[in-house]
């Protein structure tokens, strides 16, 4: 299985400031034949299911605010929230879909400082 | 707007079988662009993919659970189902059904999720 790790476990950011979450995979999730990274990001608020934010490592899902951006390639990825809003308080997960089984990171909790 | 809704017992006894159904509304289960999957979330194990099925009944299971999991589809009812047998307390979790965008055999990412249903395994 491809193991996903995330850092930090939690972070607190002031409103309007930048939040950066890191995700690392135990093997590359870059598929050489199409040069795509098989990596997605989700946001989960309490009592709700995860919500898809980003796929192909950097493609924003329709309706997701542009303050959310994804970057990285191979084994190292970053989710950036530029200008944190109160409604962004949540747990964020990365997920790889390069290999089966699909696997998720342990999550990073984002709070307001 | 696509919606998925899980249904089934919230309490299952140890060694028995957990059975859940996911009903799809606002869309059809019969599309080759999607798989339909089950994912669970527990405090101890985080998010865990259990398996997926295509409308043509191709199934893909997490090897860690493969011997205990069965996923089936009923296209006439626009539903798919999960059966997990020989449950223990470790199977206590919130179970989600989801639509999975197909990116390769047995691979993809969930884009629509049900609200989830808590299943507790206890006598």
Q: What is the pLDDT of residues B71-104, one digit of tens each?
A: 999 999 999 999 999 999 999 999 999 999 988 8
Residue B47: its pLDDT value, please? 97
Contact between A49 and B47 using a beta-carbon 8 Å cutoff: no
Burial grade of B91 (CB within 10 A; 0-12, 13-18, 19 or more): buried
Q: Name chain A contacts of B104, Cβ cutoff 8 Å.
A: 97
pLDDT in tens, A22-51: 999 999 999 999 999 999 999 999 999 999
Contacts of A35 (CB under 8 A, 6+ apart): none
- Contact predicate B112/B18, CB 8 Å: no
Residues on B contacting A at a C-beta cutoff of 8 Å:
46-49, 60, 62-64, 96, 98, 101, 103-111, 113-116
Mean pLDDT of B34-54: 93
The pLDDT value recorded for residue B45 is 77
* Chain A residues within an 8 Å CB radius of B60: 100
User: Is A91 in CB contact (< 8 Å) with chain B?
Assistant: no
Contact state of A55 with B106 under an 8 Å Cβ cutoff: no
What band does A8 get if pLDDT is binned at 50, 70 and 90? very high
Q: Which pLDDT value is given to residue B18?
A: 98
**What is the greatest pairwise CA distance in chain B?**
41
Q: Span B27-36, mean pLDDT?
A: 91
Q: pLDDT digits over A64-107, tens only?
A: 999 999 999 999 999 999 999 999 999 999 999 999 899 999 99
Closest CB from B47, B105, B110 relative to A52: B110
Q: Which of B98, B59, B46, B90 is nearest to A51 (CA)?
A: B98
Nearest-CA residue of chain A relative to B46?
A106
């Amino acid at each position: 299985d491809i193991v996903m790790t995330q850092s930090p476990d939690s972070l607190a950011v002031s409103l309007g400031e930048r939040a950066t979450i890191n995700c690392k995979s135990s093997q590359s999730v870059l598929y050489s034949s199409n040069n795509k990274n098989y990596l997605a990001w989700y946001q989960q608020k309490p009592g709700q299911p995860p919500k898809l934010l980003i796929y192909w490592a950097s493609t924003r899902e329709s309706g997701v605010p542009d303050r959310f951006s994804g970057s990285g390639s191979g084994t190292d990825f970053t989710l950036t929230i530029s200008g944190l809003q109160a409604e962004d308080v949540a747990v964020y997960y990365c997920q790889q879909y390069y290999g089966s089984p699909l696997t998720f990171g342990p999550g990073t909790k984002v709070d307001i400082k | 707007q696509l919606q998925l809704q899980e249904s089934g017992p919230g309490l299952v006894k140890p060694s028995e079988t957990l059975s859940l159904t996911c009903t799809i509304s606002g869309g059809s289960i019969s599309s080759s662009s999607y798989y339909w999957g089950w994912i669970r979330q527990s405090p101890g194990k985080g998010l865990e993919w259990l398996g997926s099925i295509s409308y043509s009944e191709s199934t893909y299971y997490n090897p860690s659970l493969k011997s205990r999991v069965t996923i089936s589809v009923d296209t006439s009812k626009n539903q798919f189902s999960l059966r997990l047998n020989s449950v223990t307390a470790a199977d206590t979790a919130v179970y989600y059904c989801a639509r999975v965008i197909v990116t390769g055999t047995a691979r993809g990412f969930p884009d629509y999720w049900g609200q989830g249903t808590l299943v507790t395994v206890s006598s």
